[in-house]
Amino acid sequence: MADFHYDIDQSGVVTITWECPGKRMNILTWEGFLELDTYVSRALNDSKVKGIVLASGKDTFTGGMDLNALGSMKSNSSSDLDVFKGIMTIHRILRNIELAGGDPKIGKAGKPIAIAINGTSVGIGYEIAISTHRIICADNPKAKIGLPEILVGIFPGGGGTTRLARRLGVMEATPFILRGKTPNPNDALDAGLVDEVVPPDELLTRAKEWVLSATPDDVIKPWDKPGFRIPGGGPYDREGFLAFTGTNAMISGETQGLYPAAQAAISTIYEGLMLPFEAAIKNEAKWFAKTLINPSSSAMINTIFVNKKLLEKGYRRSSNIPPSKLHNLGIVGSGMMGSGIAQVAAQSGLAVTLIDKDEAALNKAKENIRGFLARDIAKGRLSQGKADVILDQISFSTEIKDLAESQFVIEAVFENARIKAEIFKQVSAIVSEDCLIASNTSTLPITDLSKSVSTPDRFVGIHFFSPVQRMTLVEIIKGKDTNDNAVALAFDLVRKLRKTPIVVNDARFFYANRCIIPYINEGVSMVGEGYHPALIENAAKQIGMPLGPLQLIDETSLELAVHIAKASSEALGEKYVENDANRVVFKLAGIGRLGRKSGAGFYDYNAQGRRIGLWKGISDHFPPELNQPDIATVKNRLLLIQVVEALKSFEEGVLEDVREGDVGAIFGWGFAPWSGGPFSWVDNHGLDKTITLCHSLKDEFGSRFNAPAILQKMQQNNQSFY
């Protein structure tokens, strides 16, 4: 079936409408690209055609290129030269649009081509746009315009990097190329990404008007005209040199040299601006091909895009159970987690009943929600009217009986098994047998908690991450008695909330916390061993972690760490292993340094709660050794302890699918996104090297670094995770 439709009106303007059948959003495939090229060439070769408008038949424009198509191009290619040839096909098609039958060498203009963008147009959608002669957008505040490729491990390789750098200059283009910023149409207009923003009902009319009134000068791109100069200066101009120096330093600092796409994009811009346009396009294709075949980029695409989408579409949900129709949700506990869940549920259209034992807690929750909504309003993500509707969707009550009609009830109180058990008994007594009861616990085994409900088969764990409003991952935890219907309903809720679900089996700390706690403990233990805190935190940054272990424990609170340690010791008895981390944490907590919430932890904070540096007094309690270890040792300890725990989770059956393990790692606790996740890291690092590293760290630092048996088995069978 055709993705594009061709129509010519009486004035001689051809409208090529993009409307992928059976899809919510237009996604460009290789077949679609060739179809677009055929229609553009047809119009350019028809003497009756005066110009072209590219438009969308859907309520938005495009979500970009089908990354599966890029993945298949890589997998079907034997070298980066093969990939280069494929990318050059894209460049040929877009250059055909840009020249539009003209020849700038002799000053001959082609036929004018405008693009009418009615909604979001990102990735290849914007690369198509920037190859046309006029970018006209509908005034749609929810739309996003730009080039977010860097966020999934690649960079704009369809001409976007070369053209945008020439259109805006280095300083103005880099936030969109190297940070993946995608502003709304009006902000895009201010930034120079688009040419016009018009009312939605005038979009097509205005595009056709422009096509019919365009002059030859409008149609020949600035970079195809004699004497073109880069806005702001090129690499050898003073201003351009300073721009490159600053940008390179900034990106190197932010990426720690871990993301090949960022370095490739900078190289593409720098080299391309010293080349004629045609040569610059080939240079972009060269760097894009190198990036695409890089194992890091491949792993990022696989995890952040392909597998994440697979899980969101229901790969782990039983296909034998029909989708449920959720209308309402009950939540017990109005703290940070409970109020966050309430907000995202209300934003998704659910009627929410939020319960707490006293009115003051509920009033605080209401103000917290109002504050989050206000920030979204200030950033243009939300209107005041929509915010009011969201708040009206939430009923605040101190009476647990008000949950009687709920289809789904989530408990979200403090991590205390006895308190939770009492809540479950009360909820079970008033809701129907069909109601699913869930706990938002982050540590306590679901099977144990289910003993307090009347129907354990209708009980699950549903672990949200903080802040709920921003974090996309949700762990659905199956207890021993949890049935498939309960898991399916939990999955339906997560999908309703537009979150990413992973399904794991029951175990203390489940998957994400099971892996992040050892990371924190390893970093804190190093403090007790005499490692300098700054060395630990910087090593964490250099392996790509968003937060160092000391900053992370400050954010989550040392008080919580003490509580978890005591609860774990009580639950595990003789199996509990004491560690240096406990000694350090108990010491700091004992002197009132509980983390950010108390204004003091491993870091110092100002009156506004902002970090102002590592606490210098830590050396009075845990003096740094005179001879510090090399940073490679610190990096290896921090990275491998997470990998080993992820592998054990899979080996022990907590995880059933490594794709969930990688997606959960990146979106749950921020595990080194450049790696694609711990399982992708092992594949790319190599089994032999991983096992050798495990042995080395085990010999020096202890049995916690033992290579899991699964690695030895895979080595013997010459296997990989993917």
How does pLDDT run across 653-710, given as a tens digit for each residue?
Answer: 999 999 999 999 999 999 999 999 999 999 999 999 999 999 999 999 999 999 999 9
Extract the tokens encoding 492.
């339906």
How many residues comprise the chain?
722
The CA-based angle 543-152-658, given to 5 degrees, is: 70
pLDDT at residue 266, rounded to an integer: 92
In the chain, which residues fall in CATH 3.40.50.720? 328-507
pLDDT at residue 589, rounded to an integer: 93
pLDDT at residue 32, rounded to an integer: 92
Evaluate whether 434 touches 324 at the Cβ level (below 8 Å).
Answer: no
User: What phi, psi does 712 have (nearest 5°)?
Assistant: -65, -40
Task: State whether residue 194 is helix, strand or coil.
Answer: coil
pLDDT at residue 245, rounded to an integer: 77
Mean pLDDT value across residues 207-235: 94
**pLDDT, tens digit (0-9, with 9 covering 90-100), for 398-433:** 999 999 999 999 999 988 899 999 999 999 999 998
In whole angstroms, give the CA distance from residue 589 to residue 500: 35
Percent of the chain with pLDDT over 90: 82
Evaluate whether 50 touches 211 at the Cβ level (below 8 Å).
Answer: yes
In whole angstroms, give the CA distance from residue 147 to residue 180: 6
User: What phi, psi does 525 have (nearest 5°)?
Assistant: -60, -40
What is the widest separation between alpha-carbon atoms in the chain? 86
CATH class of 513-653+686-716: mainly alpha
Q: Which residue has the tokens 């090229």?
A: 37
Tell whether the torsion through CA atoms of 178, 180, 182 and 183 is positive or negative: negative
Residue 71 pLDDT greater than 70, yes or no? no
pLDDT at residue 691, rounded to an integer: 98
CATH class of 328-507: alpha beta
Mean pLDDT value across residues 510-523: 96
Evaluate whether 661 touches 650 at the Cβ level (below 8 Å).
Answer: yes
Evaluate whether 350 touches 326 at the Cβ level (below 8 Å).
Answer: yes
In the chain, which residues fall in CATH 1.10.1040.50? 513-653+686-716
**pLDDT, tens digit (0-9, with 9 covering 90-100), for 108-118:** 999 999 999 99
**pLDDT, tens digit (0-9, with 9 covering 90-100), for 596-647:** 989 999 999 999 989 999 999 999 999 999 999 999 999 999 999 999 999 9
Mean pLDDT value across residues 6-17: 96
Short-list 87, 93, 235, 96, CA closest to 154: 87
In whole angstroms, give the CA distance from residue 18 to residue 277: 28
Extract the tokens encoding 18.
């993009």
pLDDT at residue 549, rounded to an integer: 98
Where does the pLDDT of residue 381 fall: very low under 50, low under 70, confident under 90, or very high at 90 and above?
confident
Looking only at the bridges linking them, the beta strands covering 113-117 and 51-56 are parallel
Amino acid at 286: K
Amino acid at 378: A
Query: In b/e form, how buried is each residue of 563-601, taking b as 16+ CB within 10 angstroms?
Result: bbbebbeeeeeeeeeebbbbebbebbbeeebbbbbebbb
Short-list 367, 342, 365, 368, CA closest to 353: 342
Short-list 581, 590, 583, CA closest to 516: 581
Which has the minimum average pLDDT: 9-23, 251-265, 318-332, 360-374? Answer: 251-265
pLDDT at residue 72, rounded to an integer: 63
pLDDT at residue 278, rounded to an integer: 96
In whole angstroms, give the CA distance from residue 302 to residue 294: 12
Where does the pLDDT of residue 463 fall: very low under 50, low under 70, confident under 90, or very high at 90 and above?
very high
Residue 240 pLDDT greater than 80, yes or no? no
Calculate the average pLDDT of the chain: 93
Beta strands in 490-570 (DSSP E): 500-505
Extract the tokens encoding 620.
């009075």
Any idea what DSSP says for residue 467? S
Which residues are within 8 A (CB) of 116 and not within 5 positions of it... i.e. 6 or more apart?
53, 54, 55, 56, 136, 138, 203, 204, 206, 207
Task: State whether residue 371 is helix, strand or coil.
Answer: helix
Task: Output the DSSP codes for 272-315.
Answer: HTTS-HHHHHHHHHHHHHHHHTSHHHHHHIIIIIIIHHHHHTTT
In whole angstroms, give the CA distance from residue 526 to residue 534: 11
User: What phi, psi does 132 have (nearest 5°)?
Assistant: -85, 180
**pLDDT, tens digit (0-9, with 9 covering 90-100), for 286-334:** 999 999 889 998 899 999 989 999 999 999 999 999 999 999 999 999 9
Q: Which residue has the higher pLDDT, 381 or 420?
A: 420
Which ranges constitute the DSSP H helices of 324-416? 336-347, 359-378, 384-392
In the chain, which residues fall in CATH 3.90.226.10? 4-293
Question: In which element (H, E) is residue 441 found?
Answer: none
Residue 244 pLDDT greater than 80, yes or no? no
Alpha carbon separation from 473 to 126, 495, 669 (Å, rounded)? 28, 11, 9
Evaluate whether 104 touches 228 at the Cβ level (below 8 Å).
Answer: no
Which ranges constitute the DSSP H helices of 574-708? 580-590, 618-621, 631-651, 658-664, 678-685, 687-701
Evaluate whether 391 touches 345 at the Cβ level (below 8 Å).
Answer: no
Evaluate whether 145 touches 120 at the Cβ level (below 8 Å).
Answer: yes
- CATH fold of 4-293: 2-enoyl-CoA Hydratase; Chain A, domain 1 (3.90.226)
**pLDDT, tens digit (0-9, with 9 covering 90-100), for 115-132:** 999 999 999 999 999 999
Residue 250 pLDDT greater than 90, yes or no? no
Residue 246 pLDDT greater than 90, yes or no? no
Residue 43 pLDDT greater than 90, yes or no? yes
Extract the tokens encoding 477.
């935890």
Residue 25 pLDDT greater than 70, yes or no? yes
**pLDDT, tens digit (0-9, with 9 covering 90-100), for 559-604:** 888 888 887 777 667 776 677 899 999 999 999 999 998 999 999 9
Task: Output the DSSP codes for 677-714.
Answer: SHHHHHHHH-HHHHHHHHHHHHHHH-GGGPPPHHHHHH
pLDDT at residue 1, rounded to an integer: 61
**pLDDT, tens digit (0-9, with 9 covering 90-100), for 481-503:** 999 999 999 999 999 999 999 99
Evaluate whether 304 touches 320 at the Cβ level (below 8 Å).
Answer: no
User: What phi, psi does 138 have (nearest 5°)?
Assistant: -75, 145
CB atoms within 10 A of CB 332: 25
The half-sphere exposure of 272 on its side-chain side, counting CA atoms within 13 A, is: 30
Q: Which residue has the tokens 């490679």?
A: 632
pTM (two decimals): 0.88
